[in-house]
Structure 1
Amino acid sequence: MFYVSMFFQYLSQYMKTRLTYRVDLFVEIFSDLLFQAVNLIFILVVFGHTQFLSGWTRDEIIFIYGFFLVPFAFFSSFFNIWDFNERYIVKGEMDRILTRPIHSLFQIILERMELESLFGVITGLAVMFYAGSRLDLSISWYDPFVFIVLVLGGALVYGGIFVILASISFWSDSRTSIMPMMYNIGNYGRYPVNIYNKVIRFILTWILPFAFVGVYPSAYFLGKEEWYGYAFLTPVMGIAFFGISVILWNIGVTKYRGAGS
């Protein structure tokens, strides 16, 4: 209950801060929606030259992209730690975090919230409904519950990977560009993995499992029975990777040397 209370207190302060500068808030929301629209246009341009991509139709690819946007929106809202090394290690703000009687990762997640990114959920659902209507997909009564579980699993996969990368900073405080590079790699998860070669497919499934954010869970709703095993493995991968990330984070905190002079 203490952590729940802290979450709502941080949330309250966040809303007060963001609503003070409403124009900036609306500009950020608009830029996010524009970025998503550009990616969708790219898919449409690709399918303007071909009807199938490794056995996937245009509407199936669009559905996968829509699904991908939902867990990615939760990730972007609560795991905005791309500059963790620069801000908390190099500049020494981790010292401030560690003086408070609350888990350091939880504090940083709350400090770096960007809840305007949650509008991506609306965009993703709209894209999914559009593609699903064209594909004549049927929905069972339990599918909304399966959807929630798969979305949370995908968000935890994304969050776990980036928390693991952030944890490396506790051992090496040098400035690195690995975070932006990983964001680009993560975008591969919004396309079917069988369009890539076997090496990339293996990496996106077991090493950097971004495929569990988009294509694998989407396969369940698209009726791709040969991929059901991967789809139902999504929450397991999410819990496993996020659990590993928290363990590495806790170990890394014990290695933190402070900002120094």
Structure 2
Amino acid sequence: MFYLQMLAQYIGQYLKTRLQYRSDLVVELVSDLLFQAVNLIFIIVVFGHTDFLNGWSRDEIIFIYGFFLVPFALFSSFFNIWDFNERYIVKGELDRILTRPIHSLFQIVLERMELESLFGAITGFVVMAYAGARLGLSLNWYDPILFLVFVIGGALVYAGVFILIACISFWADARTSIMPMMYNIGNYGRYPVDIYNTVIRFVLTWILPFAFVGVYPAAFFLRREEWYVYSFLTPVIGVVFFAISVYVWNEGVKRYRGAGN
């Protein structure tokens, strides 16, 4: 209950702050929508030259992209730790975090919230609705429940991977540029993994499991039965990677000795 109360208070303060600068908020939302539109246009342009990509149709690829946007929006809203190394380790702000009686990772999550990123989920729903209508997909009564489970699982996969990368800073506190590269690798999860070679497919499934953010869970709603096992592994992989990342984070905090002078 304490953590839920803290979350509610932080969200309240965040909304007050953001609504003080409405124009800035609108510009940020528009720029985010334009970025997503560019990615969607890229997919459409690719399929302007071919109807299928290794057995996947244009509308199926668009559906996968729409699904990907939902867990990614959830991740982007709460896990903006891309500058953890420079801000909290190099500049020493982690010292301030560790003086408070609340878990350090939870504090950083609250401090770096960007709730406007949740609007990306709306774009995802619109894209899925468009592609689903063209594909003639139908919904079963349990699909919304599984959708929520898969979305949370996908968001936890992203969170787990990036928390693990942030934890590198506890052992190597120099400025690093791994985060931007990892964001680019994460984009591969928007597309069917079977269009890649065996090595990349293995990496995207078991090492950096970004395929569980997009193609694997989306394959269930596309009725791709050959992928069902991977679909139902999505929440398992998400919980496992997130639990490992929290454990490594706690070990890293124990190692941390302060910014010094």
Partner of 2:97: 97
CA distance in structure 2 between the aligned counterparts of 1:57 and 1:217, rounded to whole angstroms: 17
Matches within 5 A, 1:1-261: 1-261=1-261
Paired residues, number: 261
Q: CA deviation at 1:187?
A: 0.2
Q: How far off its partner does 1:12 sit?
A: 0.9
What is the TM-score normalised by the length of structure 1? Answer: 1.00
| 1:186 maps to amino acid | G
User: What CA deviation, in whole Å up to 9, does each residue of 1:4-24 have, x standing for no partner?
Assistant: 000011111101111111111
**Counterpart residue identity of residue 199, structure 1:** V
Alpha-carbon distance between aligned partners in 1 of 2:20 and 2:260, rounded to the nearest angstrom: 35
Q: CA RMSD in A?
A: 0.4
SS at match of 1:6: helix
Structure 1 residue 193, shift from structure 2 partner:
0.3
State the 1:194 CA deviation: 0.4
By how many angstroms is 1:96 displaced? 0.3
Counterpart of 2:34, as a letter, is L
**Which amino acid counterpart does residue 148 of structure 1 have in structure 2?**
L
Query: Match of 1:50, SS?
Result: coil
2 CA distance for matches of 1:216 and 1:222?
A: 10
| Alpha-carbon distance, 1:31 to partner | 0.8
| Structure 2 residue identity aligned to 1:137 | L
Structure 2 gap segments, 5+ residues each = none
Give distance in 1, aligned partners of 2:187 and 2:61.
13
Q: CA deviation at 1:214?
A: 0.1
3-state DSSP of counterpart to 1:5: helix
Distance in 2 separating the partners of 1:170 and 1:18: 32
User: Matches of 1:29 and 1:259 in 2, distance apart?
Assistant: 36
Q: In structure 1, what is the Cα distance between the partners aligned to 2:173 and 2:200?
A: 29
Runs of 4+ in 1 over 6 A off after TM superposition: none
Task: Structure 1 unaligned segments of length 5 or more: list them.
Answer: none
Separation in structure 1 between the aligned mates of residue 144 and residue 52 of structure 2, nearest angstrom: 28
CA distance in 1, matches of 2:223, 2:164: 33
Give per-residue Cα distances to partners, 1:19-50, cap 9 Å, x unaligned.
11111111111111100000000000000000
